[in-house]
Structure 1
Amino acid sequence: MASFKDVIGHEQIIEHLSNSLKNKKISHAYIFCGEDGTGKNMLAKLFAKALQCEAGYGDNCGMCRSCRQVESGNQPDIRWVTHEKPASIGVDDIREQVNNDIAIKPYSSKYKIYIIDEAEKMTPQAQNALLKTIEEPPSYGVIMLLTNNMDDLLQTIRSRCVTLSLKAIPTGKIQEYLIEKYEIPDYKARICASYAQGNMGKAIRMATSDEFNELHSSVLNLVKNVDDMDIYMVMDAVKKLSEYKVEIYDIIDMMMVWYRDVLMLKLTNDPNLLVYPEEYSALSKRASRSTFEGLDYIIKAMEKAKTRLRANVNFDTALELMLLTIKEN
């Protein structure tokens, strides 16, 4: 990703950052908030690159020494904060990599930039340590917090940062990008873009996966037959899903696209509005079996399954409850 103009979506954020650069009105602290895959890291890197660019025209030139250093990962005044414990960022991580280091002036650039990915993992002690630096930063200091859950950050930190919330990218733009950039077949790009629900990273991951065809076939087979499965068959289906624990959120999202097609067909009876128009017959049969209320229960059950899995509820239990709710409705 070379510059702001290459970013798909997030136009308002890019306009804000570009205007800040042109008008030289840079905040000392930013929060980039959005779920994984929405582009937080990409935008933070591009903003940092533009901040340090020697051309200084609202984006990066890609040619100066600083821009080349960013591309090679060797810009000495852009620091990505690391942490040894995967589940938390401790107070020592913040003190050593931010608080103590920021007192040293930039080596070769106008700014000294600190990017803290997964900022929601900072312990309360780490956040309080960072707060002291955010409250009284040196003129050259810029701190970027990347998070998928802003509620985990202290209100005192949130109130002192410019918050940039990443919105969903239109499905059509994602589909077009997958076709042009990755030469994905139209039908596959349509499915991946729809299942991604505005998340470009998720769409790219699925579209470029070697296992996509196998996974997609398994999901379609499940949603087409789950209504007629006996309880023991549901348990067998859960066992098969356990082989895809890493991809389980993707699988649930793909199932959700199917049931949204069912709902759309029940509402409009228009195959042109479907993600799976080639499955019109199966979708129509499914739509006749459920009420609107029942389909709402099904979609909510899939959302609840994802919530339970994130909360480390037993995998089999979470999936069994989801599939049984689908059967009952």
Structure 2
Amino acid sequence: MLDFNHIVGHEQIIEHLKTAIRTGKISHAYLLAGEDGSGKNMLANAFAMALQCEQIRQGNIGDAAEVKACGICKSCIQAASDNHPDIIRITHEKASIGIDDIRIQLNNDIQIKPYSSPYKIYIIDEAEKLTEQAQNALLKTIEEPPQYGIILLLTNNLNSLLPTILSRCVTLHLKPIDSELMIKYLMEYYQIPDYQAELSTVFAQGNLGRAIQYSSSEEFAEMKKNVLHLLKYIDDMELYEIIDGLKKISENKAQVFDYIDLMILWYRDVLLFKVTNDPNLLIYKSEFQDISKQANKRSYEGIEKIIAAMEKAKVRLNANVNFDLTMELMLLTIKENGND
């Protein structure tokens, strides 16, 4: 577990949680909503650790900016090693979180007073997997919790939860993290080169967990390599060669959206360079020479048509339009706008 200072972004949520600790106005139920990899678990862990910290309990918290776990007391050490008796994670073996999971691990357990802390904190990750029966069982505890009970629900889909659950929780929405913060974090903590950190950050769209995954994934690096090879030589290839090339690199159809997004970033670079003539603004900085060549050959209208065709391909694939036909139409647009 990490303290608030180790979390990138989410300043408003952190300030809300710190204020709750500082004033003692802590809700019995919080709902952290954000996509997978956005930082829900880090926020929940930091909040739980701070709530149980012995230094904070003794009032040694300083001003609002310094409300954080000390990291050295027995409680913090237990929390950091995921071995705190009063911070409980709800687990489940099936695809869903069932009523028995909630009854046994939470409803029954919460009746027992904390072992060594002022609170018993229950963290339910993937709360969208709660069955309706499990949610109704949980609702009874949320409505009448013991004074020491705190429940943290983490979800990527608020619509999966009952309105009665939502109405009784303090809901905190995780927003995309600032790109500069993410790039700096990747470079400092993971020693990722600047160009790679920037591409991963843009591709992750404000999701730090996803950016970390992309920046360190051999599979993503190979995907990027294959896409760039196709795009560099696409103007000199026959349509059947392009289609064969794309089929090879998108054999896993679940990844085809990632391939298309990488291609969109390429043509946005081409368009940006055509407008600004500034290589420092490019995402694919290391491919400056090839981007420059394509920017000189293509018209503004042609590049915009290509990007629009790719966005349309994503819409068609989402609507389950024939895969091969969708790809062929997209690639045909690229070829038709190759030398305007």
TM-score calculated relative to the size of structure 2? 0.84
Computed over aligned residues only, the root mean square deviation of the Cα atoms, in angstroms, reads 2.7
CA contact (8 A) 1:238 1:320 kept: no
In structure 1, what is the equivalent of residue 138 of structure 2? 130
Name the CA shift for 1:206/1:290 in 2 (closer, same or farther; >3 Å): same
Q: Distance in 1 between the 2:166 and 2:256 partners? A: 32
In structure 2, what is the equivalent of residue 5 of structure 1? 5
In structure 1, what is the equivalent of residue 204 of structure 2? 196
Matched, 1:301 2:306: no
Name the CA shift for 1:321/1:128 in 2 (closer, same or farther; >3 Å): farther
User: Secondary structure at 2:250's aligned position in 1?
Assistant: helix
CA contact (8 A) 1:94 1:130 kept: yes
C-alpha offsets along residues 233-286 of structure 1, whole Å, 9 cap, x if unaligned? 4255224322x5675554444334324434545665654432124143255245
In structure 2, what is the equivalent of residue 327 of structure 1? 332
- Residue pairs, 1:212-291, within 5 angstroms: 212-224=220-232, 230-231=239-240, 233-234=242-243, 237-242=246-251, 250-265=258-273, 270-277=278-285, 278=288, 279-284=290-295, 285=297, 288=300, 290=302
AA of the residue aligned to 2:193: P
Identity of aligned residues (%): 52
AA of the residue aligned to 1:84: E
CA contact (8 A) 1:98 1:114 kept: yes
CA contact (8 A) 1:21 1:59 kept: no
Matched, 1:62 2:71: yes
User: Secondary structure at 2:88's aligned position in 1?
Assistant: strand
CA contact (8 A) 2:186 2:197 kept: yes
Name the CA shift for 1:323/1:24 in 2 (closer, same or farther; >3 Å): farther
Q: Distance in 2 between the 1:78 and 1:8 partners? A: 23
Matched, 1:93 2:101: yes
Name the CA shift for 1:294/1:222 in 2 (closer, same or farther; >3 Å): closer
Q: Distance in 1 between the 2:5 and 2:244 partners? A: 49
In structure 1, what is the equivalent of residue 115 of structure 2? 107
User: Secondary structure at 1:290's aligned position in 2?
Assistant: helix
Runs of 4+ in structure 1 off by over 6 angstroms are none
- For structure 1, list consecutive stretches of 5 or more residues without a partner in the other structure: none
C-alpha offsets along residues 103-145 of structure 1, whole Å, 9 cap, x if unaligned? 1111111111111111111111111111111111111111111
AA of the residue aligned to 1:219: V
AA of the residue aligned to 2:281: L
Report the Cα offset of residue 319 of structure 1.
Answer: 7.2
User: Secondary structure at 1:114's aligned position in 2?
Assistant: strand
Q: Distance in 2 between the 1:80 and 1:318 partners? A: 41
Q: Distance in 1 between the 2:324 and 2:207 partners? A: 24
Q: Distance in 1 between the 2:142 and 2:326 partners? A: 45
- For structure 2, list consecutive stretches of 5 or more residues without a partner in the other structure: 62-66, 335-340
Name the CA shift for 1:114/1:62 in 2 (closer, same or farther; >3 Å): same
Q: Distance in 2 between the 1:126 and 1:323 partners? A: 47
Q: Which structure's CA Rg is the greater one?
A: 2
In structure 1, what is the equivalent of residue 337 of structure 2? none
- Residue pairs, 1:33-52, within 5 angstroms: 33-52=33-52
TM-score calculated relative to the size of structure 1? 0.86
C-alpha offsets along residues 127-181 of structure 1, whole Å, 9 cap, x if unaligned? 1111111111111111111111111111111111111111111212111111111
C-alpha offsets along residues 204-243 of structure 1, whole Å, 9 cap, x if unaligned? 112122344432211212344567552574255224322x
Q: Distance in 2 between the 1:82 and 1:283 partners? A: 52
User: Secondary structure at 2:79's aligned position in 1?
Assistant: helix
In structure 1, what is the equivalent of residue 338 of structure 2? none
